[in-house]
Structure 1
């Protein structure tokens, strides 16, 4: 277990309401990396990628900068539009 995992576990034990916040933050970070990787693989700018997946450029920017709470549904729409699939893993 990493230092950050231990820290999060400690904080959640102290305040269980934080668990949802940490989970959303983790999802936002993973989404940012995933969307940026898809866009880079396609060699597109944010604007080009946004047009390709049918979303506003501001949405792609907010996902990549982690300033948006993303949903699995939105990520699935983007992945499907980019001819990709999302695979979820329960741990």
Structure 2
């Protein structure tokens, strides 16, 4: 089951479970669509993988399977990650 992380690892933008702006890689690294298209150039700075839009969990299932509340943020920021 996906974690549905609550924020962009790059800019810390909130990405609630119903967001259609959340993008993930195969390891569930989570970034907003703006950071993926802009500074990251479509590649995950953590694993080099591609991004896809994160699926939206049906609201009726969020009570039983809640989204993660643990925020992940790249300490070095996205600018340096994109240059790697």
**TM-score normalised to the size of structure 2?**
0.33
**Of the two, which has the highest radius of gyration?**
1
Bigger share in helix: 1
TM-score by length of 1: 0.31
Which structure has more relative contact order (CA 8 Å, sep 6+)? It is 2
